[in-house]
Amino acid sequence: MTACEEKGGDAGKGLKNARGAAVESGSADRDGSRRLTALWAGLGAVAGLGAALGGYALLYEPFDVRAERLAVRLLRDKAGLPKEGLNILHLSDTHFRGADRREHAKIAQVRRATEGEKIDVLIHTGDFLHKDSGLDNVLALIDSIPKPRLGAFAVSGNHDHVFYNLRRAPLYSWRLFRARASEQGAGSGARSAAETAEDGMAGLRDLLLFGRFLFQNRFDGEPAGANDIGRLRRELEARGMQFLDNRSVRLGETGVYLVGIEDLMEGRPDLPKGLEGVPKDAPTVLLSHNPDIIEAAAAGRADLILAGHTHGGQIVLPLIGPTYTQTEQLSRSEASGYSRRGRTQVYVHRGLGESVPIRFGAPPHVTFIRLLPARSHSDGDGVARNGNRG
């Protein structure tokens, strides 16, 4: 082979190598481009899913008012409850603030859900208002419901007494967290926000403890003024609704007693006073805005406790459950719906409204409860459930 042939061969090999390198480079570029496209597509899908879930939680579920029904049978054999039982309509946590479009939509759904129903007793377990400007819509809601045969009764919630500034909720909750930590003598948690930011690991520990505090405690914001609860009572009483403030009432000619307790946070609750005059063998329904009343010694006298306050967690996540229940005495599984403590049955309402106007996995609702006499030698939890959309 001549030198020219060798050179030509080397040149050919070089050209092939260059072409191969160019092909490999182009292939790598295409692979990189495909990976980048897939990455952006994935990020877009995640963003789209997040936007869809956010839209659902903000624009759909808060208006998806359900009608839930359950039959609750007394677990103690007590005389006085009619054989056919009593039909109770339970409402709670309307949180009206005067947002006409949102609130009128809910009022219309409640009207449809209750139309034609035979209601013996209407019960509202508090937080009618978020602020005073919602009063007209509260009255419109009550006017939209068929008149109950034996009367309408209510207790007040913390928001009926106080307007909370939700914009200052994080800072206010941080101050509560620090105060709680100081009371418990804990070094961590007693620092200011600035000190927490400056002290690395200790700051991280504080933030984790603060997260747990938020997960376990109230997040209502800073009290910013008083709502006119006196006016609320007067206007509702003019429509026939009685407020049971640490007092009881007998339902018509039945032997059933309703007992109401003032709000545990903003009122002056006195359950022993509320139970005065109630025979110990009488069927007794206790109304409390806050379900934490269950831990009161006298609460065991009640056959059924009706409460609200928790909003059912308002945001319920898969595997985690309710993110924020506002209750210290109930487990997360007890923060919505039916549960039992001994022979006292408890029903916690998710509410119609919200403090922060979002819901996910905890739709608003009205509840129809049929309260029935005890069955001889009954088993089970004394409750039968079903539900549907309003």
pLDDT along the chain (390 residues), means of 10: 52 52 56 61 62 82 96 96 97 94 95 97 98 97 98 98 73 67 58 54 66 59 85 98 98 97 96 97 98 95 97 90 84 92 97 91 97 74 64
Residues 123, 20, single domain; the answer is: no
Q: Are 353 and 105 in contact (CB under 8 A)?
A: no
- One-letter amino acid of 141: L
Please indicate, yes or no, whether residues 372 and 276 belong to a single structural domain of this protein: yes
d(C-alpha 44, C-alpha 55), whole Å: 16
**Residues 278, 191 within the same domain:** no
Give the closest residue to 309 by CA, choosing from 243, 254, 265: 265
Query: Do 28 and 103 belong together in one domain?
Result: no
Query: Does 190 lie in the same domain as 156?
Result: no
Q: What local confidence, expressed as pLDDT, does residue 26 receive?
A: 57
The three-class DSSP label of residue 316 is: strand
pLDDT computed for residue 20 by the predictor = 54
Kind of pairing between the strands at 222-226 and 162-165: antiparallel
Residues 178 and 232 in one domain: no
Q: Specify whether 104 is located in the same domain as 252.
A: yes
Separation CA 136–CA 228 (nearest Å): 13
| Burial of 379 from C-beta contacts in 10 A (0-12 / 13-18 / 19+) | exposed
Specify which residues 372 forms β-bridges with.
Answer: 73
Residue tagged 């200011």 (tokens): 192
Number of domains in the chain: 3
Residue 85: predicted pLDDT: 97
Q: Are residues 237 and 370 in the same domain?
A: yes
Q: Contact at 8 Å (CB) between 323 and 336?
A: no
How far is residue 205's CA from residue 196's CA, in Å, rounded to a whole number?
Answer: 9
Residue at a domain's end among 189, 216, 243: 216
The CA distances from residue 165 to 131, 171, 343, in Å, are 10, 11, 39
Residue 79, domain CATH:
3.60.21.10
> Is the domain of 198 the same as that of 327?
no
Domain with 194 in it: 167-216
Please give the single-letter amino acid code of residue 198. Answer: E
For residue 352, the model assigns a pLDDT of 97
Query: Which pLDDT score, from 0 to 100, does residue 189 have?
Result: 47
Q: Do 171 and 161 belong to one domain?
A: no
> Do residues 83 and 58 share a domain?
no
347 plus 372 within the same structural domain: yes
Dump the DSSP string for 54-110: HHIIIIIGGG--EEEEEEEE-SS--TTS-TT-EEEEEE----B-S-HHHHHHHHHHH
What number of other Cβ atoms are within 10 A of residue 386's Cβ? 10
The reported pLDDT for the residue numbered 9 is 54
How would you label 157-167 residue by residue, b for 16+ Cβ within 10 Å and e otherwise? bbbbbbbbebe
Bridge partners (DSSP) listed for residue 383: 72
Among candidate residues 216, 231, 256, the one where a domain is terminated: 216
Identify the domain boundary among 11, 28, 63: 63
